[in-house]
Chain A
Amino acid sequence: GQSLEQPSEVTAVEGAIVQINCTYQTSGFYGLSWYQQHDGGAPTFLSYNALDGLEETGRFSSFLSRSDSYGYLLLQELQMKDSASYFCAVRGPSGGSYIPTFGRGTSLIVHP
């Protein structure tokens, strides 16, 4: 099976940079994804890493180290609207399929 660990909460001030870490255990690795979810809303896809290194999308970047089973999401120039929960997710083999497993989520609180 798969399991993921991420911090339960991170706080930062507007304009700052914050990093949300994620460590995973999986019997087969097919990439690390990140999702954002505002309170009461649906998760939305942010980024995906299949290979080691940094992927940048605007203010958001995601990093992966497969040898360390570790990744992080980096949010720059924080805005109040970035206050949300952030989930990392992996796909791993299960019974001939590749099922997704999500972490418990990190609640990001951005202060003015």
Chain B
Amino acid sequence: DGGITQSPKYLFRKEGQNVTLSCEQNLNHDAMYWYRQDPGQGLRLIYYSQIVNDFQKGDIAEGYSVSREKKESFPLTVTSAQKNPTAFYLCASSVGETTHEQFFGPGTRLTVL
């Protein structure tokens, strides 16, 4: 089955630690995205990538980093510089950057203690 996987579903970390969230897709999509969702809020774009070895900052990139070494993978690192990292993180992909339909993974709920 084609789709997007994110792991783990729940993640706990101590304040000051970096943590990497996994995102893998087997849809052969070129574009991938990371969003942050806080309670009662919409999805805010952190980073996006249109093609392998290329990515751009979204609206709230500070304190986050990404890599896109393979088409299928787009991991997100939440660094200690992110002031309020506790949130629900969603990864998505689309056929291309102008394609309207995005496919989302199940999300990772990160709690920083």
Contacts and interface: CB of A to CB of B under 8 A. Distances in A.
Interface of A: 4, 8, 30-31, 33, 35, 40-45, 48, 50, 87, 91, 95, 97-105
B48 interface: yes
12 contacts: A4-B42, A40-B107, A41-B107, A43-B43, A45-B102, A50-B100, A97-B48, A99-B56, A102-B35, A102-B42, A102-B43, A104-B41
Nearest to A49: B100
Contact of A41 (B41, B101, B103, B106): B106
Contacts of B40: 8, 104-105
A41 B59 CA distance: 23
Contacts of B59: 101
B100 to A, nearest CB: 5
Contact of A30 (B33, B35, B45, B98): B98
A99 B57 CA distance: 10
A48 B43 contact: no
B64 interface: no
Contacts of B35: 102
